[in-house]
Each structure stands twice: as structure tokens, then as C-alpha cells.
Amino acid sequence: MNDYAGESLQLNGGYKMELVRSHVLVCGGTGCTSSGSKQIMDEFEVQLKNFDIDKEVKVIQTGCFGLCALGPIVIVYPEGSFYSMVKKEDVAEIVEQHLLKGRIVKRLLYKETVVDENNVKSLNEVDFYKKQHRVALRNCGVINPENIDEYIACDGYKALGKVLTEMTPEQVIQEVKDSGLRGRGGGGFPTGVKWDFARKSVNEQKYVLCNADEGDPGAFMDRSVLEGDPHTVIEAMAIAAYAIGANQGYIYVRAEYPIAVHRLQVAIKQAKEYGLLGKNIFDTGFDFDLEIRLGAGAFVCGEETALMTSIEGHRGEPHPRPPFPAVKGLWEKPTILNNVETYANIPVIFLNGAKEFAKLGTETSKGTKVFALGGKINNTGLVEVPMGTTLREVVYEIGGGIPNGKKFKAAQTGGPSGGCIPAELIDTPIDYDSLIKIGSMMGSGGLIVMDEDTCMVDIAKFFLEFTVDESCGKCVPCRIGTKRLLELLTKITNGTGTLEDIDEMKTLCYTIKGSALCGLGQTAPNPVLSTLRYFRQEYIEHVVDKKCRAGVCKALLTYKIDPEKCKGCTLCARNCPVGAISGKVKEVHTIDTAKCIKCGVCESNCKFGAISK
Amino acid sequence: MKSLADLEAIRNRTINKVGLRKEGTEETRIVVGMATCGIAAGARPVMQAFVEELQKRNITNAFVTQTGCIGVCRLEPIVEVYVPGQEKVTYVKMTAEKAAKVVVDHIVNGKVVEEYTIGNAE
């Protein structure tokens, strides 16, 4: 048997001890990788050798810690020191001071963990982590995702072992039903019920699929689970296969997630070598094999029927349901499709029991939900909170509030399929049903925060541009309807819209919702409908007053120079890319509004605050 | 791998390594003075002995960490043991052999090795 910890393993039962006293965890998630965590890891190896402590200190690459805004992140155990925004030059200092001499480098610690000169808080007491409850992300940032032994050390594959040796498929399904787990991909369909349908479909060949085609702008939950803990998905899919009576699975992941794909490949290879995938798993006669299918990054392929069409090798287009996949799915065989985060919850249900799992959350939404926090928020990153946590807690307590003291205006959940939650509803508990009630939806977990500088009409337009691009074109309501809707929105942001346009938009929205073929089209008008519902006044201002209060819609802006404040320094005139500003030295300047392209360069350059829009 | 026992075996041999990364307050801290004075006096083999001893005995509720100069350089290598809820114990003039005894007597059996403590050295 291979030893993935990479340490010398001696045969004849003698397992050679490695004298590791300290672990340096470097985040290898996508966020930190792009801010240079790979170089930092390499530098650690170099410096540890330099100080001759490379044998006793181990550097481990992990998945996402969640605080992406502060990357690259390095955690040193056993002290649990959380270093943020580490630069390559800092590594030598951490190695010499902390790892060699035992003096924590305070200057590099995440400032929230520093209490005073002599005291450092535990990470779990920091605002960002205090209210979080990591279930799906339990191993992210803790284990090395490319080392199956570490996953096993954290009770990995124990749930699969228990399921195969002690439970019948019916009991497995009942346990998932009892846990109250609902699909984390957005719809919130009860997972156990879905599995039950597939179990009851009689066929010798069935399939288990994993939807890792995460496509919402600003969402990176599934990506982080795959990058940080790929084995949990493999284990859960094997459990699902046993429950429904399948022996083949596919993970549909987008090729744009190279790190996730690589770690999945490594994980599948290791699981096969350990006999946790393949024939006769745990000597129970159960076979399960797993393959990866790469998607080319089409948003529509996240829709289940389009995803299956794509796996079959065809162009990713949806088809009408029923028949549902549980009856006729991949290659017309009974199939279940669950999202990455849904699977990540499965092993926990079997390790701790359905009752324990259901303790978190609300009456109808059990467990936790992972959110990718983005937009105008201080702690951009990945958070996992119990269902029913309010939006206020997520934005202000975990997310650290809005930068530059700006006011919270709204949050978008569910990406281009969801809707916005305005400031007056910030105390809404986040769970499936509460969000539907206020016209939004849970979605897969993108949470984009907007402040007073965000124009809600422009936001609706942004999401609609996305769906227009991503519409597969198969059905007319989506292909043409969304395009017409976008044209109407563009008219409004250009200042040529009318009040009739607003009403027409609403009618068009409902037509598309009611007649589009798949989820993409049916939900595409949601951003328009929800902004109309909560920010109608802003639409009316654009149409009637020709005004964009956030100062975003360029067509509705005019830049002016305040003659009182202008000192005639000529800075604006020299920087104007189109030569729209004229004036002599030490005399008041003027802007030719016919030439002005409203780029805002003059405003940001003026040292006297004389230019405004 | 064919049985749950195989799985458990892998789990057991890896758990110590991962256990290092779990934060807990119920853990014993063994702090080795690793300033220039400590290193010169031979603190490194002492620290390695502690790590080795803990792993050999599968002790998961204690970890080894290091600190700077404690101040009494003439008594280095100095090791401080913090057992939760008890007063700190300071061992002086440590060696690798003494380290093994401290782990067995103090960490495992809860009996302070008086003869190595700073009180006895003075």
C-alpha cells in the first residue's frame, strides 16, 4: 500500500516516526494561488533548509481558509498563528523568528487576532470565524487535499465503510431524508427524496453525477470544496451510488477550474489505489467507478438536462422535463445529479447521524450554507453559516461591513438567477423559504454586496447581459425575450426610456418566466423583477428625471467645474483624453459637454475637489 | 484496502500529524527555550527528543513549541511545561534522556520530575 503522506514507510510493521513538531499550512485555493501562495510555499522550503529545520517543520498546501481578501494566508501550527498577506520577503523572517526561535511575528498576524502586545486570540474567536459553522468546509484549510491519508485521518471514508457494511440502501436513503438535507445548488430539492426516486426506478444501469459546473458570476463555493477537500465528494458519490444502485459516476467540472480538476484527478487516483473506488469496495461486492468530464464553461450546462446532454458528448442544450433524470437521465438511464456542496454534507450525516446534522438550521432548511462573499464588503471570501443566520450577521459581523464607511444598499443572492435583498430586509434569515418569499432565492451561494454607489438598474442590466450571452438559443422566450429585455434596460440607462417601457419590461419578464424551456430562461428575469420590486423609484428617476443617483449610468451624467473652487492648475485639461476641457493657467476651466466622454479622469485628478458630476 | 480495520490503521498512523492542526485549550504545552543561548547549550536535541517521545507514545493532547530566551541562560536548555489548570513547571539543564523521563513521568503520569526543576538546581 502506498503511503501518501510521503514519509518513509517501513515494511514489517515498523512505521518510521517522523519528527515533525510544526506544520506550516499555506493556502492553495484559487484566491491565494493568484496572489502568489505557490511562490511562498517554495520560499518556505528554501528557508527551512537554510536554517536547517526542514526535517522538523512540514509545509502543507491546503484548500481555502475563507478569508480570500487577506491572501496569501499562512497558518503555523501548533500555535495556530494566522499570518495574512504574506509576501515572499516575509518568509525568511517567519522561519527565523517563529519557527526557529519561537517568536511569533506579530507584524504579519491577521490584525483581528492580535489583542495586545502579549496576547493573541484564537482564530475561532475572530469575528470572521466566530459565527461560522464549518460542515461542508470542515476539512478545507485543515488537510492537504492531495493526500488521502490526511482525509482518512479526519474520519474520511469512514462513512462509506459504515454505509457499505452496516446499512441497507433503504436505510441510507431514510437517513438522508431524516437529515432534512436539501440541494445546495439552488433549487433546494430534498436530497433523500431525489435518491428515493432513482432507487425506485428499475434499471440495471444507473448513474450518479456531480454538478461542479459552477457558473454564477462571483460564486466560488464548489470550486473551493473541490480544491480543499476533493475526497469528500468522491466518498459521498459512492454512498449515493450504493443507495440508488449505481456503479458508475461522473463529475462534471468546468475546465476553467484547473486546480480543482487537478486535485480531483489526484484524489480519484489515490482512492482507486486504496481500493475505495473500483471493484468490491470494502469486500462487500459493491463496485463503483468515477470519471471526470470537463465542461467548456457554458452557464447553461449547470442546468441538469443540459449537463447530461453535454456528458453524452452533444452540444449542451436542455430538454423539457418530465421525464425527470431520476427516471430517464444520462443515456436515458435513471440518474441522480447533486451539487458539490450537497455531497460535501453527506459523509457528515453518516458520521454524526441525521439528528445531529438537523440540529443546525431552521425548521425547513437544515444544516449550513456556504456563501462566496463578494462585492462591496471588507472580508471578501468564503463563509459557512447555519441556515437562518440573518443577512445582517453575514454582512456586518462576518463580512466586516462595507468599505469606506459607505451605506449598505442591497445584496444579490443566487447570482443572475436570483434577486436582490434591499437594506430594509437585511434582518431576513437566510434560508430557502424566506428568500423565495422576498422574491430572491438561495441559489448556489454567491452573495454580492452593493453599496450606495451601485445603480440598481445597472446591476439588473449587468446580470441580464450575462444571461443574454449565456442563453443557449434553443427556445425563443430565452433567446429573443432576454435580448429584448436587455434593450429596454439599455434604453432606460441611456436616458431614453419611458414609463411604458417599465411596464412592458414587467410583462416581458413574466412571459419569459412562464414559457422558457429551462431554469436559465425561467430565472433570467429575476434580477429585473426584484430590482423593480424594491427599487422602482430608481427606474422612474432614470426615466423621468434623467438622473442616476449612484452616478453610474454615464449617459445621465454631466461633469461640471465649480468656478469657486477651480484654481486653474490645468491638471484636468492635461489629463482629459479627448481634449474636452479648456482654460488658461490660473483661470477657471470649463468642460465641453459635447466632447466629454464621462470617463471621470478629471474628477479623480482634481486636487481641489472642484469637479463633480 | 479491504476492511474497515485497514481504514482505521491508516487513520491511526496519520492522526497525530493532522491532530497538530486542531486548536484546543485542553492541551499541554511543552515550551523549549530556543534562543541563541538555548541552542548553544543543546536545546535542539532536547526538542527533538520531546517530539519523538510524544509521537512514540501516541500522545495527542500535548505539543512541543519553542520560545526565546527565558533569562537564566546559565541553566539552559530550559523547558517549560504548561498543563492546563496547573502551575507551570520549569525544567533546567535538560538533555534528551531527561526529556524522555519528563514525558513519561510528567506528561503521561502527571508526576512532576522534581530533580530536574529549577527549584532543585539552585
Q: Which CATH number fits the domain that encloses residue B63? A: 3.40.30.10
How many Cβ atoms are within 10 Å of A402's Cβ, its own excluded? 21
Contacting A residues, span 276-315, partner chain B, CB-CB under 8 Å: 276, 282-283
Is-cis flag, bond preceding B77, omega within 30? yes
pLDDT at A377: 94
B105 Cα to chain A: minimum distance (Å) = 21
Partner-chain residue, chosen from A77, A123, A153, that has the shortest CB–CB distance to B14: A153
The DSSP symbol for A19 reads -
In angstroms and rounded to an integer, the radius of gyration of the C-alpha atoms of chain B is 16
Of B13, B21, B34, the CB nearest to A142: B21
- Three cell numbers written together for A232: 469528500
Q: Is the pLDDT of residue A12 over 80?
A: no
Nearest to A124 among B13, B23, B52 (CB): B23
Q: Is residue B16 part of a domain?
A: no
Query: Can you give the pLDDT at residue A526?
Result: 94
Span of A58-62, A286-290, B15-19 with lowest mean pLDDT: B15-19
Q: pLDDT: is B28 or A310 the higher one?
A: A310
Look at residue A6 and tell me whether its pLDDT is greater than 50.
Answer: no
> In chain B, what residues touch A274 (CB-CB under 8 Å)?
1
> What's the whole-number mean pLDDT along residues A277-284?
95
CA distance A152 to chain B (A): 5
Measured between CB atoms, does A23 come within 8 Å of chain B? yes
Question: Which run of H or E residues covers position A287?
Answer: strand A286-295
pLDDT of residue B20: 66
Q: In sequence order, what E strands does A536-596 have?
A: 560-561, 581-582, 590-591
- Does residue B8 lie in a domain region? no
pLDDT at A3: 46
Q: What residues of A are in contact with residue B4 (Cβ under 8 Å)? A: 158, 161, 165, 282
* pLDDT tens for each residue of A601-612: 999 899 999 998
Q: What is the pLDDT of residues A161-212, one digit of tens each?
A: 999 999 999 999 999 999 999 999 888 999 999 999 999 999 999 999 999 9
Q: Which of A354, A536, A377, A345 is nearest to A449 (CA)?
A: A377
**Nine cell digits for residue B48:** 527533538
> B90 to chain A, minimum CA–CA distance in Å?
17
Most A CBs within 10 Å: which of B7, B47, B78, B103, as the mutation test of the A interface?
A: B7
At residue B34, the 3 state secondary structure works out as coil
The residues of B whose Cβ lies within 8 A of any Cβ of A are 1-4, 7, 10-11, 13-15, 17-23, 31-32, 34-35, 47-48, 50-52, 55-56, 63-68
- Report chain A residues whose CB lies below 8 A from the CB of B52: 17, 19
How far is it, in rounded angstroms, from Cα A289 to Cα A447? 35
> For chain A, what percent of residues have pLDDT higher than 70?
97
Q: Which amino acid is at B3?
A: S
User: Would you state the cell numbers that stand for residue B98, as one nine-digit string?
Assistant: 531527561
Angle among Cα A434, A437, A441 to the nearest 5 degrees reads 70
Interchain proximity A102–B31, CB inside 8 Å: yes
Residue B56 domain flag: yes
Confidence of residue B24 (pLDDT cuts 50, 70, 90): low
Residue B3 included in any domain:
no
If contacts are CB pairs under 8 Å, which of residues 231-260 in chain A contact chain B? none
pLDDT at A370: 94
CA-to-CA distance for A428 and A136, rounded, in angstroms? 23
A106 touches chain B (CB under 8 A): no
A542: amino acid identity, one letter: H
pLDDT category, A159, cuts 50, 70, 90?
very high
Optimal mutation site among B12, B15, B18, B63, interface A, most CBs of chain A within 10 A: B18
Task: Tell me if A38 sits within 8 A of A2, measured CB to CB.
Answer: no
Q: Let me know: does A464 contact A457? Beta carbons within 8 Å.
A: no
Instruction: Identify whether B33 is part of a domain.
Output: yes
The parent domain of residue B51 ranges over 23-121
User: In which band, very low, low, confident or very high, does the pLDDT at A1 lie, cut at 50, 70 and 90?
Assistant: very low
Q: What is the mean pLDDT of residues A434-447?
A: 89
Give the CA angle between residues A182, A300, A215 to the nearest 5°. 65
Q: Is residue A593 classed as helix, strand or coil in its secondary structure?
A: coil
**Number of domains present in the structure of chain B:** 1
Q: What is the pLDDT of residue A78?
A: 82
Report the C-alpha gap between A203 and A591 in whole angstroms.
74
Do the chains contact at B56 and A20, CB–CB below 8 Å?
no
- The residues, ordered by sequence, that sit 6+ positions from A606 with a Cβ below 8 Å of its Cβ are A571, A572
- Give pLDDT tens digits for A98-155: 988 888 898 999 988 888 777 777 777 888 888 889 999 999 888 899 999 999 999 9
Q: What is the pLDDT of residues A534-577, one digit of tens each?
A: 999 999 999 999 999 998 998 888 898 999 999 999 999 999 99
Residue A599 has pLDDT above 70, yes or no: yes
Tell me, yes or no, whether B18 lies in a domain: no
The mean pLDDT value for A515-532 works out to 94
Residues of chain A contacting B28 with CB distance shorter than 8 Å: none
Please state, in angstroms and rounded to a whole number, the distance separating the CA atoms of residues A10 and A15: 5
The pLDDT, as a whole number, for residue A15 is 34
Cell of B72: 537564566
Question: A214-255, pLDDT tens digit by residue?
Answer: 988 888 899 999 999 999 999 999 999 999 999 999 999 999
B31's enclosing H/E stretch is: strand B28-33
The predicted model gives B6-11 an average pLDDT of 89
Residues B3, A22: C-beta atoms closer than 8 Å: no
Among candidates A15, A58, A101 on the partner chain, residue whose Cβ is nearest the Cβ of B13: A15
Which residue segments constitute the domains of chain A, with CATH numbers given? 22-130 (3.40.30.10), 148-358 (3.40.50.11540), 368-451 (3.10.20.600), 456-545 (1.20.1440.230), 558-613 (3.30.70.20)
Q: Which pLDDT does position A112 carry in this prediction?
A: 85
Q: How confident is the model at residue A16 (pLDDT cuts 50, 70, 90)?
A: very low
Contact B14 A152 (CB under 8 A): yes
Point out the residue among B15, B65, B68 whose CB comes nearest to the CB of A153.
B15
Question: What's the average model confidence in pLDDT over B107-116?
Answer: 90
Complex ipTM tops 0.85: no
Inter-helix orientation angle A456-470/A482-493, to 10°: 150
Determine, yes or no, domain membership for B13: no
What span, in angstroms and rounded, lies between the C-alpha atoms of A45 and A96? 13
pTM for this prediction: 0.86
Q: What percent of chain A has pLDDT over 90?
A: 76
For A77-109, write each residue's pLDDT tens digit.
888 889 999 999 999 999 998 988 888 898 999
Put simply, the answer to whether A23 touches B20 (Cβ < 8 Å) is: yes
| A212 close contact with B: CB closer than 8 A | no
Return the closest-CA partner of residue A305 out of A389, A211, A378. A211
| CA neighbor of A133 nearest in space, from A450, A404, A360, A307 | A360
Q: Is residue B12 part of a domain?
A: no
Chosen from A74, A134, A152 to mutate, greatest number of chain B CBs within 10 A: A152
The span from the CA of A548 to the CA of A94, in Å, is 50
DSSP string, A341-409: HHHHHHHHHHHH-HHHHHTSB-SSSBSEEEEEEEES-SS-EEEEEETT-BHHIIIIIIS---GGGPPEE
pLDDT at A5 over 90: no
Of A101, A161, A275, the CB nearest to B4: A161
Q: What is the mean pLDDT of residues A280-308?
A: 94
Q: Of A311, A305, A310, A304, which is closest to residue A290 (Cα–Cα)?
A: A311
CB contact under 8 A, A22 and B14: no
- The residues facing A16 across adjacent strands are none
Q: How far is CA A570 from the centre of its chain?
A: 46
Q: What mean pLDDT value characterizes chain A?
A: 91
Are B17 and A23 inside 8 Å of each other by CB?
yes
Residue A11 pLDDT grade (very low, low, confident, very high; cuts 50, 70, 90): very low
pLDDT at A10: 30
CB contact at 8 A, A463 and A416: yes
